[in-house]
Amino acid sequence: MPLDIIQFPCLSDNFGVLIHDPKSGKTAAIDAPESSPIMKVLAEKNWTLTDIFTTHWHHDHVDGNLVLKEKYRCKITGPKHEAAKIPGIDVTVSGGDTFDFAGYRFEVIDCPGHTLGGISYSVPSEKLLFAADTLFALGCGRLLEGTPDDMWASLSKLALLSDDTIVYCGHEYTLSNAKFALTIDPDNAELVARAAKIKDQRERGEATLPTTIGLEKRTNPFLRPHDSGIRKVLAMESATDAAVFGEIRHRKNIF
């Protein structure tokens, strides 16, 4: 019996994600942007929260931790290198660690860049990735603590996952990301078609996530610094991939 996964809006543009195992009844939240929407979905589904898997310390990912822990007595797992900033944390993990959730093996991937100690969670058997603010649909997180080299190394690790890996991200930024992506990779026919679809989805109020690793590798400029067309647009034909990535991130910052 597969895992049930529900994605729903929190705050102004965050996503909440709940993972439920029907067999054991265990339920985990990927981050806790705010408690009320999470509690509402749990009540609607008649689920009890057993775990919170925190990806990084930012307030819009941990503000619900203590309220949820008090109500459900759930266990909070989070990044070792940011433990002091994670409210209510019980278990610390870092890249290369694995742990069991309802019989499923979760793998921890270190993803410095957005923050220095941020992590992503991969479930290889189910081809799932919970990337939070490292990888977005058509984007990546701002480098608030790390360097372009840090983030490029993190994204490169995620890009090694199978193309059919389903990716859940932390925010609904896809429309603005698409507008920017077209300035960097204007001749990418799949990107052009995807951007038009995204515009329609957002006009209908639909979420553009989850995405897949394969789709991002084909259309997300932050995963494509090796592409000759992108390098030509940037006039960086002989630069390293990390340098090209850094220029793309800089341009997005001021877009």
Determine the pLDDT at residue 219: 98
Task: Supply the pTM of this predicted model.
Answer: 0.97
Distances from the Cα of 121 to the Cαs of 27, 71, 127, 188, in angstroms? 15, 25, 11, 30
Question: 108, 97 in Cβ contact below 8 A?
Answer: yes
Determine the pLDDT at residue 114: 98
pLDDT digits (tens, 9 = 90+) for 27-82: 999 999 999 999 999 999 999 999 999 999 999 999 999 999 999 999 999 999 99
Spans of the chain, pLDDT less than 50: none
CA 113 to chain centre: 13
Determine the pLDDT at residue 25: 97
Residues 6+ apart with CB under 8 A from 25: 47, 48, 50
Q: Where are the alpha helices (DSSP H) in 91-225?
A: 148-159, 174-184, 189-203, 213-219
Residue type, 102: A
Partners of residue 51 on adjacent β-strands: 28, 75
Nearest-10 Cα torsion for 249, 195, 38, 80: -30
